[in-house]
Structure 1
Amino acid sequence: MPDRQPSPTATLERPPHTESKSDIARLLVRCADRPGVVAAVSAFLSERGANIISLDQHSTDYEGGAFFQRTVFRLPGFVAERDELEHDFRETVAAPLGLDFRLSDAATPKRVAIMVSKLDHCLLDLLWRAKRGELDVNIGVVIANHNDLAEDVRGFGIPFVHIPVSRDTKPEAEARQLEVLRGNYDLVVLARYMQIISANFLAEVGCPIINIHHSFLPAFIGAGPYQRAKERGVKLVGATAHYVTEDLDEGPIIEQDVVRVSHRASTQDLVRLGADVERAVLSRAVQWHCEDRVARHGNTTIVF
């Protein structure tokens, strides 16, 4: 059996999993770093009767950096006041300070679509976590280019849409996928969807896409990664969750993790342990994105 040791990231502080949702809102801001941003945001919320529950911030450099802030606050009647609050914040804070911002209602789960091929471990893990309430998401559809997982998905009461994809039919298949997805979802998750996403699809889908990769990128890309890993005598099996961009497997990384293995591990051991890591990494990435914890900065991310 493989040697098992704690992951190097296991002791790092992780964002808390849950927040009370009643009248809770999340405000993410980004701007060029400058004095007064935290004070202006806090004063605005205080003047409107909001109570700040948590506030996280990060600047990419001491001078000339980009500034990011995530503020969670409670404001009684937030849903009714949201449009007015957003308008006033834009006029009195965002415009004068040059802020980009996003305001969201913590009580409204993100609408998520999942795309998959034949491997079921990441898909079923997300469906199970969502059913148990461990992931605060609304999974509305699963789209697959194979029909193997149809009954598993329907067992969760979620629509399963089978759209075959081949080299000759890829444009037509993507057009059908976009008919299902465009304008209906806040996030698309590739839960081991074994097709390359085209630039046109990325431009048209209208929401971020998260992918899970079976290694610390960019090692062992392509077919048979665990057999190749075994042949190279790897000592770590890992997984990477990242946003999808036009550059294959090169998008901003959200989360990574590893498990140690040894020469005793068979290829089957590597596959099993790799699947465990993939499930955990993807679920954390989806959770953090849907809790508005991830800010993109160029080709990297800040995760609050």
Structure 2
Amino acid sequence: MDNTSVDWLFTFQCPDRLGILANVSDLLYKRGAFVTASFHYGDPGTQTFFCRMIFDDHVMNVPLEAMRDDLDTLASELDMRYVLRRADYRPKVLIAVSRYDHCLTLLLTKWRAGALAVDIVGVVSNHEDCRALVEWHGIAFHHFPITPQTKPEQEARILALFDRTGAELLVLARYMQILSDDMSRRLEGRVINIHHSFLPGFKGARPYHQAHERGVKVIGATAHFVTSDLDEGPIIVQEVKPVDHTQRAEDMALIGHDTEAVALASAVRLFSEGRVFLNGQRTVVL
């Protein structure tokens, strides 16, 4: 293949019906899009079709804008929402953190190693604890203190920073503040949170102590989209680790730190690769 060819990521979802994949494949074939990967799923519950494709343009016979025009026409016919972007595109991510840095540390480590294909445009915090870590990585650190009285103003500053940096995703890396309903709605589908529990169990304070008291045999963490319903957003990734009766609540908390960091980093990676689709109160991951 031509070394100058470009790989493109094409994702879409639409109401399910006969012939969707045939119509899309026919369009790509006629325009010379060389498909190298394709994953799809039709949900019988929501009657929605989801698809993720990668193609390269080494034999494309039309300019990209003509391809977009064709896709626009097909999207109108199929009531389709689609995204077409370069496969190597790196979404812009803003991270929010409070004092616990284990999730932030793994995100920064993977980003620095090239294992997380995002551009981190800044880290915002209501505390100063993580400043040195963030600035050592050469990333802008923004200290936005918050009190119950200043919450609206503080969230407005975060939203302004989100818009100013061109961020496409806000990652709550153990950000110990509950987003307001208004902020959750404004950033719907663009905020990922990590919960230190295998949701929907053990919500609220001291989750590992709750788990210990119940004698659980696995503990876990849940990465999910944020909605105005606290800890009820569509789940993206869950990680679990086995535990037994010999482990104290403090031991479980340390194990939990690992599951939290891994689950959150995995969710951000899946988002960055265009693999996560919202499907009502659930997600489809392709």
Q: TM-score range by the shorter chain?
A: over 0.9
Corresponding residue for residue 33 of structure 1: 16
Corresponding residue for residue 36 of structure 2: 53
Change (3 A) 1:165 1:102: same
Corresponding residue for residue 3 of structure 1: none
Do 2:277 and 2:284's aligned partners in 1 also have CA atoms closer than 8 Å? yes
Aligned length: 282
Change (3 A) 1:275 1:301: same
Corresponding residue for residue 145 of structure 2: 164
User: 1:266 is matched by which residue type in structure 2?
Assistant: R
Query: How much does 1:194 deviate?
Result: 0.7
Change (3 A) 1:82 1:142: farther
Q: Percent identity?
A: 41
Change (3 A) 1:206 1:300: closer
User: 2:88 is matched by which residue type in structure 1?
Assistant: A
Higher RCO structure, 1 or 2 (CA under 8 Å, sep 6+): 1
Task: Give runs of aligned pairs for residues 1-304 of structure 1, distance below 5 A.
Answer: 23-61=6-44, 65-76=47-58, 81-91=63-73, 93-182=74-163, 184-205=166-187, 208-304=190-286
User: 1:197 is matched by which residue type in structure 2?
Assistant: L
Query: How much does 1:107 deviate?
Result: 1.8
Query: How much does 1:77 deviate?
Result: 9.5
Q: What's the RMSD between the two structures over aligned residues?
A: 2.1
Corresponding residue for residue 7 of structure 1: none
Deviations 1:168-221 (A, max 9, x none): 110111111111112611111000111111122134447610001111112222
Do 1:214 and 1:240's aligned partners in 2 also have CA atoms closer than 8 Å? yes
Unaligned runs of 5+ residues in structure 2 are none
Task: Single out whichever of 26-35 and 172-181 deviates more from structure 2.
Answer: 26-35
Change (3 A) 1:239 1:67: same
Do 1:30 and 1:68's aligned partners in 2 also have CA atoms closer than 8 Å? yes
In structure 1, distance between residues paired with 2:5 and 2:208: 45
Secondary structure of the 2:133 match is helix
Do 1:23 and 1:77's aligned partners in 2 also have CA atoms closer than 8 Å? no
In structure 2, distance between residues paired with 1:178 and 1:234: 39
In structure 2, distance between residues paired with 1:30 and 1:106: 18
- The ranges of structure 1 where at least 4 consecutive aligned residues each deviate by more than 3 angstroms after the TM superposition are 80-84, 203-207
In structure 2, distance between residues paired with 1:186 and 1:213: 21
Query: How much does 1:234 deviate?
Result: 1.9
Task: Single out whichever of 225-234 and 258-267 deviates more from structure 2.
Answer: 225-234
In structure 2, distance between residues paired with 1:301 and 1:103: 20
Secondary structure of the 2:203 match is coil
TM-score in terms of structure 1 length:
0.87
Deviations 1:25-58 (A, max 9, x none): 1111212211211111111112222110111111
Corresponding residue for residue 5 of structure 1: none
Do 1:214 and 1:278's aligned partners in 2 also have CA atoms closer than 8 Å? yes
Change (3 A) 1:224 1:22: farther
In structure 2, distance between residues paired with 1:237 and 1:21: 48
In structure 1, distance between residues paired with 2:277 and 2:65: 23
User: 2:39 is matched by which residue type in structure 1?
Assistant: D
Query: How much does 1:81 deviate?
Result: 4.2
In structure 2, distance between residues paired with 1:60 and 1:159: 42
User: 1:25 is matched by which residue type in structure 2?
Assistant: W
TM-score in terms of structure 2 length:
0.93
Change (3 A) 1:134 1:22: farther
